[in-house]
Amino acid sequence: MESVRAVLVDIDGVLTVSWRPLPGAVEALREVREAGFAVLLVTNTTSRTRASIAGTLAEEGFPVSAEDILTAPAATAAYLAEHCPGARCALLNSGDIAEDLDGVTVVEAGDTGRVPDVVLVGGAGPEFGYAALDRAFGHLQRGARLVAMHRNLYWRTAEGLRLDSGAFLAGLERAARVEAEITGKPARAFFESALARLGVGADEAVMVGDDVESDVLAAQWAGVTGVLVRTGKFQPETLRAADGTPDHVIDSFADLPALLRESAQQ
């Protein structure tokens, strides 16, 4: 930790819940920035664009702009450009993320032409009904690739935990006998992209998240120091059942500046 120069931060459940700041989060992010650390917000949120997220956070007092955010949709656009250039994609997602899918060709649900090259799965919502899932299943049976922005099973809202697309993704994979290509967290490439944007090595960064598997352990497997917060979707039983042990566990993001100071002094 003494060599840390950059901080990667999940948003939902770490800085905010239902886009409302968690106690001390705004002040802590300002303190981290003022201490000279590079900051990048890395999120699997698929319901909003980077610009929309930045605007909402700025209104709540967070010192961020769109350039400080890396979303799963933005990472997905880069992935498709490299691995499936020119692909026609059938998008199953809740929310308007067209701005962050720059260069991606999305076919309409009613398009009865040739089978899409890719079934692209984002975040869950009302759009994940039987007809949409069955249509995606049909595309996969006829040879489409399955690309998903994340595997999150649920997320935290002000009303409690809500089911996310990872639950539906598992069903599609099993039914169609295919394995999804993941572009957001916990994909190693996502963390490598974040580090490249900040110009730091894995040993110079920490990742702060509320998802022990997708945020923290995935970052650690990529060589980044992991910090788990006991907010958002955190549950003690999930931590106990995890495939590894976080490098650090703190009560909330508000405690991060103190952790960074203590580590620097050591």
CA angle 220, 256, 44 (to 5 degrees): 55
Q: What is the CATH number of the domain that holds 240?
A: 3.40.50.1000
Cβ proximity of 260 and 204 under 8 Å: no
Residue 55 lies in a domain: no
Task: Please check whether residues 197 and 122 belong to one and the same domain.
Answer: no
* pLDDT per residue rounded down to tens, the chain (266 residues): 678 999 999 999 999 999 999 999 999 999 999 999 999 999 998 989 999 999 999 999 999 999 999 999 999 999 999 999 999 999 999 988 988 998 999 998 777 778 999 999 999 999 999 999 999 999 999 999 999 999 999 988 888 989 999 999 999 999 999 999 999 999 999 999 999 999 999 999 999 999 999 999 999 999 999 999 999 999 999 999 999 999 999 999 999 999 999 887 76
Domain limits at 135?
85-182
Number of domains in the chain: 2
Of the residues 152, 182, 212, the one at which a domain ends: 182
C-alpha R_g of the chain? 18
Residue showing tokens 């120091």? 225
**Distance, CA of 31 to CA of 13 (rounded, Å):** 19
Widest CA span in the chain: 63
What DSSP string describes 34-52? Answer: HTT-EEEEEE---SS-HHH
Q: Beta partners for 120?
A: 91, 147
Residue 218 lies in a domain: yes
Of the residues 182, 217, 237, the one at which a domain ends: 182
Of the residues 182, 202, 234, the one at which a domain ends: 182
The pLDDT value recorded for residue 265 is 75
Residue 202 lies in a domain: yes
